[in-house]
Amino acid sequence: MGLKITSIVATDKGSSNEVYLLINEIYITKTLSTQLVCKTYKSKADRDANIDNTCSTFNIPLMYKPTLESITVTINDLYALIKLELEAQGLTVEIIN
């Protein structure tokens, strides 16, 4: 599960229209304060590699603090929230398995 950004994105490893974003850490407090720490990869090969082959981007944040309505949230819900934020920036994003 993750997000695939198909807009052209500038990274520290060059531009790509196949950037992958994966949630790496999830922190939720009992007051529903949430923090998602993500990693980005320049390509599917980088994402699937057995090494930590992440990249930095200049317009995709690695930390998100979405507001949750309920503690019963799924990973799909969290990716959907990030997807909405990225689409608001004008990026084309799809949820992938």
The structural domains of the chain, with segments of one domain joined by +, span 2-90
With contact defined as beta carbons under 8 Å apart, do 9 and 16 qualify? Answer: yes
The amino acid present at 91, given as its one-letter code, is L
pTM across the whole model: 0.90
Residues forming a β-bridge with 94: 4
30-89 pLDDT, tens digit each: 888 899 999 999 999 999 997 889 999 989 999 999 888 777 889 999 999 999 999 999
17-44 pLDDT, tens digit each: 999 999 999 998 888 889 999 999 999 9
Q: What is the rounded distance in angstroms from the CA atom of residue 19 to the CA atom of residue 6?
A: 7
